[in-house]
Structure 1
Amino acid sequence: MRKLFLFVLFAVLSFSSFAEEDWGWWNELHGWKTGMPGWRNWIIISPAYLGPNALPVPEVKKGFFLNESEFALTASTHFHSGDPTQDISGRLFIPFAKGKIAVEMYGVMMEHYAYTEEIRNERFSRDKDGKGAAIGDFYFSTLIQLTRDRKFPNTLFRMALRTASGGKLDAARYSDAPGYFFDVSSSKDFGTRESLLFRPYGMIGFYSWQTNDELMLQNDALLYGLGTEWEHNSWRLGASWSGYHGYKNTGDRPMQLNFDLRKDFSKSAISLQYQHGLHDWLYKTLRFSFIWKFNAVK
């Protein structure tokens, strides 16, 4: 019995020593010592210090939505000299109440990352080799069509909730915390689709997410976007400028340019998008989507 006790004690001490030695590189690199705040407090919960899908700028809505249900499957590549990332995401959009209300659900199903040692250290990541895979956050939003096809501009209200389903906080990929945003978007149509339709649009809103700052657990931001879109028959081409402005100024003011091209068919569509980061989100992202269209709920 005594030998068994000594064996168990030796195994526990060995395991504890191994665990401590395993994180020794991180402790030494960042000067962490016993009694200091845990590693979670070192992660900076802002778009500049997390992966490209952690706190993205929400899609700029255009003041209206079509009364068509869609499911989209998207492959994305995020170009970054220190953090190249690829992911597969999905989106389900279902309108009802005769096209006056819609629900939208989307999220990253799988993300692959491989970042450099410099990025790892800058983000206080504990993923030593900087390589791996992660599941993203899930979003649920409700859209309400306030006005459409009237003398007054098309106007749409959106409210969205982001869950904390994303993993790999230790690798600084997702925030492991919830958030929400709401906005109002408006647009005005000039011309017709058969010739050439021109549509300027804008968006203004509020974005808030939980952080790990014990003094200010929530970061609030002004959400904004401006853009134009051209339509000709079944083709759509758009460009926009968007971002949000957090109040902490800790890499929480992302700004980007967005370009998208879409071709619609009778029961499907394809879309190509490009996003160019300008500030606090410095990725260059290319997305390809295949979209299935099915009957809307009446």
Structure 2
Amino acid sequence: MSKHSSFLKLFFLINFLFCSLFSCQKLLNLTTNYFGPNSNPVPDFTDATIPKFTELSVYGDYYFGFGDKTVNSYVKVEIPLISEKVSLKFWAVPAEYYEVTYAIKDRRGMQKNSGFAAGDVYIQTRISLLNNKEKALNLILNATLKTASGSDYKNRRFFNTAGYYFDAELGKSFILKNAFLNEIRLVADAGFYSWDVQTPNLNVQDDALMYGLKLILKKKNISWENTISGYNGWITRVPDYGDKPIVFASKLNFKGKKNRYFIQYQNGIRYFPYNQIRIGAVFPLESLTPNFFK
């Protein structure tokens, strides 16, 4: 055996022992450009109102394109503690099924191409700072906690770190009296988003500015929402790190006697490599609405 081959074997043995003792890790990119679509999505924002009654929302999502197909359920509950003024909101992805190509599996460092995972739980407090019904003007402050409860980190479905964000929604309606539209509503959203980014022997936070604009057109029991939103983080360890995603969503709502139904298409404009089709329903639950002022 040559001295050269003996040296190489000794080098690899020392490297293996070093990594075993000191937990050598591959530097991971904790963004939705390298994880599943539900890992750290651009946060949704509302029409800048708080409901009168408790609302249960149930969605079904299908993400496709760019080598990752994901199907998931989605549940959201908003509980007004003070009607139209203060509420608590909870949401999560109870389960998702995913299939990715071999190219995506290798790019992300996944262990398998398909499987099931469960998502993070979000907890949000919402406070109405302004509710001027005469001018149809609303201002809502949101404080949100993203828990580290998601599963299948090894297959890059959900982060194993927590996060939080604060944002404000400002909405203004313009009432019309014509044959085409009853109301035009504009909503702007702005805030600060932060989440933990684990790196070998170092924990840092990725901090981002959130933003969004929404246009809502209403005619009787039908409304059409168009939203563009995103956030801008500061980490740029690789050119396509991806903590600056932008998405566009178009949503059609139908209001029944009590419930609301909708269908939505979302496109990832930048650093969100997914198209989305979402269908869902919102159920007001008057009997489950707290009343602390009886």
Which aligned pairs between 1:185-264 and structure 2 lie closer than 5 A? 185-191=169-175, 196-213=182-199, 214-215=201-202, 217-249=204-236, 250-264=241-255
Q: How does 1:120-159 map to 2 (within 5 A)?
A: 120-125=105-110, 127=111, 129-148=112-131, 149-151=133-135, 153-159=137-143
Contact 2:171-2:186 within 8 A present in 1 as well: yes
Which has the larger strand fraction? 2
Which consecutive unaligned segments of at least 5 residues does structure 1 have?
1-31
* Structure 1 residues 5-44: aligned runs within 5 Å: 33-36=16-19, 38=23, 41-44=26-29
- TM-score normalised by structure 1 residue count: 0.84
Q: How many residues align?
A: 266
Identity of aligned residues (%): 27
C-alpha distance in 1 between matches for 2:235 and 2:177 = 44
Q: State the secondary structure of the residue aligned to 1:170.
A: helix
CA contact (8 A) 1:200 1:228 kept: yes
> Does the aligned pair in 2 maintain the 1:268–1:291 contact within 8 Å?
yes
Distance 1:34 1:287, change over 3 A: farther
CA distance in 1: counterparts of 2:75 and 2:55, whole angstroms: 11
- Map of 2:153 onto structure 1: 169
**What is the CA–CA distance in structure 2 between the aligned matches of 1:67 and 1:216, rounded to whole Å?**
41
Deviations along 1:125-168, one digit per CA (max 9) or x if unpaired, are 2x1x3110000000010110111125483111001101111011
Amino acid at match of 1:104: K
Superposed counterparts of 1:46-85, under 5 Å: 46-85=31-70
Question: Which residue pairs with 1:24 in the alignment?
Answer: none
Q: Measured at CA, do residues 223 and 112 of structure 1 come closer, stay the same or move farther in structure 2, by a change above 3 Å?
A: same
Shift, 1:284, TM fit = 0.4
2:260 maps to a residue whose letter is A
Q: Quote the residue 2:167 is aligned against.
A: 183
Structure 2 unmatched runs, 5+: 1-14
Length-normalised TM-score, structure 2:
0.85
Q: Distance in 2 between matches of 1:64 and 1:90?
A: 19
Q: Residue 159 of structure 1 contacts residue 182 of structure 1 at CA under 8 Å; is this kept in 2?
A: yes
